[in-house]
A and B are shown apart, each in its own frame.
Chain A
Amino acid sequence: MIKAILIFNNHGKPRLSKFYEHYSEDTEQQIIRETFHLVSKRDENVCNFLEGGILIGGSDNKLIYRHYATLYFVFCVDSSESELGILDLIQVFVETLDKCFENVCELDLIFHVDKVHYILGEMVMGGMVLETNMNEIITQVDSQNKMEKSEMVLLHLKVLPYSSAMVLSKCAPTVSGHSPGIHPNLAPVQSWPA
């Protein structure tokens, strides 16, 4: 079982949090902070597995993470999951994001966290892996987005989360506010043999 999936940046700002067990909001923030603390102090060349998170821990659980440019993708899993399998899954997740957002960068995740959730929902459901085939995931996400678009057109509404989002992502670099070290691409910091 996957217990939680967290994405945060190099500064510990959460970009996505998905807990498959209930925690209070405060505990969730504490877990994110603690996980960031544990993960961020590790060298680039050490292994991608981590034991000993106290809050979400328990002896059975471990953190499996990968670091891409400005973002950490962390999966907290128990012993029923294969360590290397989860690493592959993170790769699939990132590649799917890359396909869905066309050259994904941190800003995409910042502004479209809901969309990231929907993509994740096609991969992992209730803590269990639903689909690992990238094409299948993208097909389902696309056809749901298409459906949404047609509904919006019918409604003639001004609230257009995605269509306006599309425009936004194109002008992303001009968004005010600080944007430290945003890479045009989320190039993986470590490359991993398929």
Chain B
Amino acid sequence: MALKIVKGSIDRMFDKNLQDLVRGIRNHKEDEAKYISTCIDEIKQELKQDNIAVKANAVCKLTYLQMLGYDVSWAAFNIVEVMSSSKFTFKRIGYLAASQCFHEGTDVIMLTTNQIRKDLSSPNQYDTGVALTGLSCFVTPDLARDLANDIMTLMSHTKPYIRKKAVLIMYKVFLKYPESLRPAFPRLKEKLEDPDPGVQSAAVNVICELARRNPKNYLSLAPLFFKLMTSSTNNWVLIKIIKLFGALTPLEPRLGKKLIEPLTNLIHSTSAMSLLYECVNTVIAVLISLSSGMPNHSASIQLCVQKLRILIEDSDQNCEPSVNACMKYLGLLAMSKILKTHPKSVQSHKDLILQCLDDKDESIRLRALDLLYGMVSKKNLMEIVKKLMLHVDKAEGTTYRDELLTKIIDICSQSNYQYITNFEWYISILVELTRLEGTRHGHLIASQMLDVAIRVKAIRGFAVAQMATLLDNAHLLTGNTQRNGICEVLYAAAWICGEFSEHLEDPKQTLEAMLRPKVATLPGHIQAVYVQNAAKLFATVLRSQESTPDTTAAQETSQLMIDRLPLFVQSANLEVQERASCILQLVKYIQKLQQKEVEVAEEVTALFAGELNPVAPKAQKKVPIPDGLDLDAWINEPPSESESEDEKPKAVFAKEEPKHTRSRHSEVDEKELARRREARKQEQANNPFYIKASPSSQKVYQDTPGVEHIPVVQIDLSVPLKVPGMPLSDQYLKMEEDRRQKEKDEKKKKEKKRKREKRARGRHVDSGPESEEDITPAHHVDIVTEEMPENALPSDEDEKDPNDPHKALDIDLDKPLTDSEKLPTRTHRSADVLKSPGGDGDGVSITGEPKKKTRKEKKEKKKAKDKERTRSAEDKKTKKKHKHDPEEEEANIHEVVTLVKADETQSTEPLPPSVSAGASDLDFWLTSDAAPSAIQEAVAATNTEMPTDADLGEVKDMEPEETKSKHKKKKLKKEKEEMEKKKKKKRHHHHRSDRGEAESVQNGTMEEDDEEPLPPMSNYCLLAENAYVKMVYDIQGNLQDGSQVVVSIIFQNMSSSFLKSMEFNVLDSLNSKLQRPEGATPHDGLTVPFQLPPGVSNEARFVFSVQSIVMPQKLKGTLTFIVKSDDSSTHEKLDFKLHFTCTSYLITTPCYSDAYAKLLESGELKSSSLKLEGVTMPFHHLLARICFHHHFSVVERIDSCASMYSRSIQGHHVCLLVKTAAETVSIDAKCDELMLLENVLEEIKQTFSQS
């Protein structure tokens, strides 16, 4: 046995490691595949062993083989085994292998969830690191859902190394599990301001990637990014931000104005070419967004284009040639951006672009081609295409030539053939293109031929002639089997010749050409078209021949068909076979009739009567669904439950998609549809190139032949329609030039005449060089628009790709979070709260703004609900209280308003370009040139304005000054609403006061008439302090859990050094325990989830569980931390005593006076009392203090007497009746737990004795 083990380990010594494998492969050059297969066998043996080191080695080798193209998915389970090794070395090998070969289809992935979760929470940062790196490559929707919360927690990890990886991977999680975006976003945003530049960069990366797809949702982050742009020194971050701004500016032109200055500064200051280039690019984007619709800005665009030109044509002698080439490429790239909006500015540099077509670098040539697309006009189209044709001839390498071909077709066919003035020329170009060898784009040429022939009626004669020539010379196209791509054009040629056979000069000849035996070598679908169109041609031939007295010719034609068709009947292609045999029988029947001398031509022609109209590709989709037709209803009963459940959801989803769009369509009302149809008709009628196919409009067109149509006749005469060989498009270019010259001359003559006439009247502005409109088409051309169903619904919806994963991420991020949006979590509750100080709990605020809103909303709701009840209660209890004076109340409103205003100003002032800025704040930021000062101004303005408008009505009537910004108006409106709300609130007397909220404290004062506002209050009291750190804390009960309290501690760095690795620990008592994560012993400390740069403070929350709450208690604890200065770091500690008061177990709970009365009447409560002497503060201050510090709410207040209520976390009711008379305050209290009550009273006493 022992020997076996020794032998095993010796064997293992001789196991191949990766290096041996590589060396072996290099030594077996001749039989590499064989060698590798033996290696794979060895690996399989190694994987069977129990030793994890052997397994890891085998997996490592597999990873290498995977790179060489070997499928290693069979080892997926072994990879998971290696991943779960406790040794980092092996874990890393396992995760690498997984990242290389796992994907969504790998089934063992679902086994990894718990392992990954374990690794993510590993104390070793590198275990977490490799898990994150691996996960980023193979995350699936399931993994994303299960791990989202864990990863989110890691975003606040103490180690920046983990934080940056966690932040980055969130993007992948969002893609796979879009629901996680909203809950995670606040923290992601927070990371934009992380002290670690790596984390910051990762956050910028993720947000930029998100924003690129749905920029409008991220517009509100613009101020923050702006701040980062002006403060960051990391070029990579800057590039990302600047690129992002490039995407945002089109949405918000005001943003552009703000950007110009810092961008220009960067351009001047940076030495990094990459940053410089991106700045220039964004400046261009800004200029474009600013100048659209503003002609005076196009001068700056012009300037940009000129600068780019210098970049493109100049080569710096000091630089490497490849660097110059890069700049040239990027210059062209930037120019294409300008081209989209300012084609005219770029068009003047046509020479340069054409010159770039001759560049030896294919990338540059492709860029230049791209630019040409936007540069063509009616005037230069022929010239540019001629240049391109030359390049087609010269081009080597099929990729570039194919690119040229598609570009030529794109250029010519763009915007419904807008720039083509002579379609004969275009057909010639297409025919010339068929000479290209080995192109993949035969079908593209074919579809163009078909499209033009069908839609441009005037060109059919010419097209048919050209196509006949093509069919005649088909052998040239099909001669080489390698040139299969191009024979697609024969499909078009055959169809055109057949369909428009009436235009053929010699249909018989074409018919013969189409029935040549060689045709049988063509692909099946082309043969099928040949056969079908041979029949059409046959009909035409018959008709022409029957009109002559000689009947033999017609019979000869039939015989020709009967002779040749059997070849096709034998075709392997079903379609060809079917058509051929059908037509063969038909022709045989015709022949029989012919032999009886029956005239058949008419009937045969009738087979193919009628014209085919072009139908838009989307036409079918646009057919509206008639009323009463439900496409989603089952035609048959749905399959029973027993059927496989896996397939069902899929079918459901597939169906849902169209249903949504349809229902949206039906919402567009009939009127709107009619209006749109009318508009479309109008547009088409006004555009000479959008002539409708309806005969009426055609007639109109023909009835009024303009002067400009005269040259048509000349050209028709001068073009030899029957070009013997291949047509030469160059001829057309020449002719076109002549024609235009002539037209110009004519026009000049006319103009001169006009000028002479006009000169008497005034100055005439010369129109300058020939403009677009001056060029008239050479033909009387109808471009038939593609047909759409009668009541087609106009929509652009269908342009979007439903499979785009980013569509799911188009989520409004400014809306506050709802409870249902929390991420699914499996971790222990307390651990979750502990680790995420900005987490998603109820009382835990993530960002100021949205959270505040929710709280306000909730409050409002509650108040509204309470109101009804309160009123009825008030009626009952009139005996107890004084009647309120409504007028007095009215007067109070003003006071309230000013208070609220003060509060608002306070909250807005420190915020200006704040993280939490909502949409309106963005407006504010954008409208102001220098943000902070403008905001201060605005605040000041509102301040001075508001108090004068004592009356609400006045606010309404007040005319906004002309200089006032929109935003201010908005703000006024908001405040008005605010006032109305307060007014409502005032109707009832009790209110809930919120701890720690200055605003709610002021709510407490609302009922006072004319008393000074409260001094600021805070519940945070000092916990401990030394030279490095100061801790203040507040304790709050946890409403959801009767045995928990949350201790919020604000850590403030008092030193000039960096504080890190803070660990918080307390000595648990029997009654109170600090909640630690699972697996931790009671002596383990908790890591404070942040570090503190000098002068910075941050808040962390810790959860404690308590058993008995009737007694106050103290816990001893220690904070340990590392003080890191420039040259040294020391370990420090700070002891503290955490005081749990009984008050801290109370939770502010509103109570209605009727319920309160019942509670008191029930007699279950024990009572106690307290007297405070020498209290000088106003009564409302006193109440506010009790509310604030001791978590009570006022139930009712009558003059100098008030009833108050609170509730403990374990459900004890605490009732107070507070009375005041001449500096003496007496409190009668009742509670179901006497001990608790007495302690609370004692604490209240202390509160007032301190002041």
Taken together as a complex, chains A and B put the C-alpha atoms of A88 and B70 apart, in Å, by 32
Taken together as a complex, chains A and B put the C-alpha atoms of A116 and B53 apart, in Å, by 21
Chain A minimum-CB-distance residue to B87: A151
Chain B interface size, under 10 / 10 to 19 / 20 to 34 / 35 or more: 35 or more
Q: Which residues of B contact A192 (CB under 8 A)?
A: 320, 323
Taken together as a complex, chains A and B put the C-alpha atoms of A114 and B60 apart, in Å, by 8
Q: Which residues of B contact A125 (CB under 8 A)?
A: 132-133, 136, 165, 168-169
Q: Are A148 and B360 in contact (CB under 8 A)?
A: no
How many residue pairs, one in A and one in B, have C-beta atoms under 8 Å apart?
A: 209
Q: Min CB distance, A58 to chain B, in Å? A: 12
Taken together as a complex, chains A and B put the C-alpha atoms of A89 and B333 apart, in Å, by 21
Q: Would you call A161 an interface residue if the criterion is a C-beta within 8 Å of the partner chain's C-beta atoms? A: yes
Q: Are A177 and B88 in contact (CB under 8 A)?
A: no
Q: Min CB distance, A151 to chain B, in Å? A: 5
Q: Which residues of B contact A17 (CB under 8 A)?
A: 67
Q: Would you call B209 an interface residue if the criterion is a C-beta within 8 Å of the partner chain's C-beta atoms? A: yes
Q: List 7 A-B contacts (CB under 8 A).
A: A80-B208, A110-B22, A114-B96, A152-B89, A159-B54, A190-B320, A192-B320
Q: Would you call A12 an interface residue if the criterion is a C-beta within 8 Å of the partner chain's C-beta atoms? A: no
**Interface membership of chain B positions 317-353, coded 1 if the CB is closer than 8 angstroms to chain A and 0 otherwise:** 0011111011011100100000000000000000000
**Interface membership of chain B positions 119-133, coded 1 if the CB is closer than 8 angstroms to chain A and 0 otherwise:** 000000010011011
Question: A144-B88, A148-B92, A155-B53 are contacts. A44–B322 as well, Cβ < 8 Å?
Answer: yes
Q: Would you call A131 an interface residue if the criterion is a C-beta within 8 Å of the partner chain's C-beta atoms? A: yes
Taken together as a complex, chains A and B put the C-alpha atoms of A48 and B70 apart, in Å, by 30
Q: Are B17 and A161 in contact (CB under 8 A)?
A: yes
Q: Are B198 and A151 in contact (CB under 8 A)?
A: no
Question: A49-B326, A151-B87, A158-B13 are contacts. A111–B18 as well, Cβ < 8 Å?
Answer: yes
Closest 7 CB pairs of A and B: A126-B136, A84-B274, A47-B325, A177-B26, A22-B103, A45-B321, A46-B361
Q: Which residue of A47, A113, A175 has the most chain B CB atoms within 10 A of its CB atom?
A: A47
Q: Which residues of A contact B273 (CB under 8 A)?
A: 84, 193
Q: Which residues of A contact B326 (CB under 8 A)?
A: 47-49, 83-84, 87
Give which listed residue, A16, A88, A143, A193, contacts B319 with CB less than 8 A.
A193
Q: Would you call B12 an interface residue if the criterion is a C-beta within 8 Å of the partner chain's C-beta atoms? A: yes
Q: Which residues of A contact B87 (CB under 8 A)?
A: 151, 155
Taken together as a complex, chains A and B put the C-alpha atoms of A118 and B15 apart, in Å, by 23
Q: Would you call B403 an interface residue if the criterion is a C-beta within 8 Å of the partner chain's C-beta atoms? A: yes
Identify which of residues 129-164 in chain B touch chain A, using a CB-to-CB cut-off of 8 Å. 129-130, 132-133, 136-137, 139, 161, 164
Q: Min CB distance, A13 to chain B, in Å? A: 9
Chain A minimum-CB-distance residue to B57: A159
Give which listed residue, A45, A112, A131, A158, contacts B198 with CB less than 8 A.
A131
Taken together as a complex, chains A and B put the C-alpha atoms of A144 and B360 apart, in Å, by 47
Question: A25-B66, A128-B206, A192-B320 are contacts. A47–B96 as well, Cβ < 8 Å?
Answer: no
Identify which of residues 87-117 in chain A touch chain B, using a CB-to-CB cut-off of 8 Å. 87-88, 110-114, 117
Q: Would you call B1020 an interface residue if the criterion is a C-beta within 8 Å of the partner chain's C-beta atoms? A: no
Q: Would you call B243 an interface residue if the criterion is a C-beta within 8 Å of the partner chain's C-beta atoms? A: yes
Q: Which residues of A contact B164 (CB under 8 A)?
A: 130-131
Q: Are B93 and A46 in contact (CB under 8 A)?
A: no
Q: Are B88 and A130 in contact (CB under 8 A)?
A: no
Taken together as a complex, chains A and B put the C-alpha atoms of A177 and B29 apart, in Å, by 8
Q: Are A128 and B168 in contact (CB under 8 A)?
A: yes
Taken together as a complex, chains A and B put the C-alpha atoms of A5 and B96 apart, in Å, by 15
Taken together as a complex, chains A and B put the C-alpha atoms of A42 and B333 apart, in Å, by 20
Chain A minimum-CB-distance residue to B327: A47
Please give 12 more A-B residue pairs, beta carbons under 8 A apart, in addition to A83-B333, A111-B22, A144-B126. Answer: A16-B67, A28-B69, A44-B322, A85-B278, A111-B23, A114-B60, A126-B168, A131-B164, A133-B198, A158-B15, A176-B23, A177-B26
Q: Which residues of B contact A193 (CB under 8 A)?
A: 273, 319, 323
Give which listed residue, A49, A83, A129, contacts B205 with CB less than 8 A.
A129
Q: Which residues of B contact A44 (CB under 8 A)?
A: 322
Chain A minimum-CB-distance residue to B9: A158
Q: Would you call B239 an interface residue if the criterion is a C-beta within 8 Å of the partner chain's C-beta atoms? A: yes
Q: Which residues of A contact B1230 (CB under 8 A)?
A: none
Give which listed residue, A26, A51, A117, A160, contacts B96 with CB less than 8 A.
A117
Q: Which residues of B contact A80 (CB under 8 A)?
A: 208-209, 212, 243
Q: Are B12 and A118 in contact (CB under 8 A)?
A: no
**Interface membership of chain A positions 138-180, coded 1 if the CB is closer than 8 angstroms to chain B and 0 otherwise:** 0010011001100110010111110011001000000111100
Give which listed residue, B19, B53, B126, B236, contacts A164 with CB less than 8 A.
B19
Question: A130-B165, A192-B320 are contacts. A85–B53 as well, Cβ < 8 Å?
Answer: no
**Interface membership of chain A positions 34-45, coded 1 if the CB is closer than 8 angstroms to chain B and 0 otherwise:** 000000001111
Taken together as a complex, chains A and B put the C-alpha atoms of A158 and B53 apart, in Å, by 9
Chain B minimum-CB-distance residue to A157: B53
Q: Would you call B64 an interface residue if the criterion is a C-beta within 8 Å of the partner chain's C-beta atoms? A: yes
Identify which of residues 270-293 in chain B touch chain A, using a CB-to-CB cut-off of 8 Å. 272-274, 277-278
Q: Are B274 and A52 in contact (CB under 8 A)?
A: no
Taken together as a complex, chains A and B put the C-alpha atoms of A165 and B139 apart, in Å, by 32
Taken together as a complex, chains A and B put the C-alpha atoms of A177 and B24 apart, in Å, by 9
* B residues at A contact (CB < 8 Å): 9, 12-13, 15, 17-19, 22-23, 26-27, 29, 53-54, 56-57, 60, 63-64, 66-71, 87-89, 92-93, 96, 100, 103-104, 126, 129-130, 132-133, 136-137, 139, 161, 164-165, 168-169, 171-172, 197-198, 201-202, 205-206, 208-209, 212, 234-236, 239, 243, 272-274, 277-278, 319-323, 325-326, 328-330, 333, 360-364, 366, 399, 403
Q: Are A47 and B329 in contact (CB under 8 A)?
A: yes
Q: Which residues of A contact B234 (CB under 8 A)?
A: 132
Q: Are A47 and B328 in contact (CB under 8 A)?
A: yes
Chain A minimum-CB-distance residue to B237: A132
Q: Are B330 and A83 in contact (CB under 8 A)?
A: yes
Give which listed residue, A46, A51, A133, A140, contacts B360 with CB less than 8 A.
A46
Q: Which residues of A contact B139 (CB under 8 A)?
A: 126
Q: Which residues of A contact B333 (CB under 8 A)?
A: 83
Taken together as a complex, chains A and B put the C-alpha atoms of A18 and B161 apart, in Å, by 22
Q: Which residues of B contact A47 (CB under 8 A)?
A: 322, 325-326, 328-329, 361, 363-364
Q: Which residues of A contact B172 (CB under 8 A)?
A: 126
Taken together as a complex, chains A and B put the C-alpha atoms of A63 and B1189 apart, in Å, by 64
Give which listed residue, B60, B70, B126, contacts A25 with CB less than 8 A.
B70
Taken together as a complex, chains A and B put the C-alpha atoms of A25 and B13 apart, in Å, by 31
Q: Which residues of A contact B325 (CB under 8 A)?
A: 45-48
Q: Which residues of B contact A48 (CB under 8 A)?
A: 322, 325-326
**Interface membership of chain A positions 1-36, coded 1 if the CB is closer than 8 angstroms to chain B and 0 otherwise:** 100000000000010111010101110110000000
Q: Min CB distance, B764 to chain A, in Å? A: 48
Q: Are A175 and B205 in contact (CB under 8 A)?
A: no
Chain A minimum-CB-distance residue to B274: A84
Question: A148-B88, A164-B19, A177-B23 are contacts. A45–B322 as well, Cβ < 8 Å?
Answer: yes
Q: Are A175 and B23 in contact (CB under 8 A)?
A: yes
Question: A49-B363, A114-B93 are contacts. A82–B209 as well, Cβ < 8 Å?
Answer: no
Q: Are B60 and A26 in contact (CB under 8 A)?
A: no
Give which listed residue, A82, A117, A131, contacts B277 with CB less than 8 A.
A82
Taken together as a complex, chains A and B put the C-alpha atoms of A192 and B273 apart, in Å, by 11
Q: Which residues of A contact B171 (CB under 8 A)?
A: 126, 128
Q: Min CB distance, B372 to chain A, in Å? A: 15
Q: Which residues of B contact A26 (CB under 8 A)?
A: 69
Q: Which residues of A contact B88 (CB under 8 A)?
A: 144, 147-148, 151
Give which listed residue, B19, B64, B104, contacts A165 with CB less than 8 A.
B19
Taken together as a complex, chains A and B put the C-alpha atoms of A175 and B638 apart, in Å, by 69
Give which listed residue, B13, B69, B71, B168, contacts A130 with CB less than 8 A.
B168
Q: Are A121 and B133 in contact (CB under 8 A)?
A: yes
Q: Which residues of B contact A22 (CB under 8 A)?
A: 103-104
Q: Which residues of A contact B29 (CB under 8 A)?
A: 177-178
Q: Are B132 and A25 in contact (CB under 8 A)?
A: no
Q: Which residues of B contact A118 (CB under 8 A)?
A: 92, 96
Chain B minimum-CB-distance residue to A63: B363
Q: Which residues of A contact B330 (CB under 8 A)?
A: 83-84
Q: Would you call A50 an interface residue if the criterion is a C-beta within 8 Å of the partner chain's C-beta atoms? A: yes
Q: Are B239 and A82 in contact (CB under 8 A)?
A: yes
Q: Are B169 and A85 in contact (CB under 8 A)?
A: no
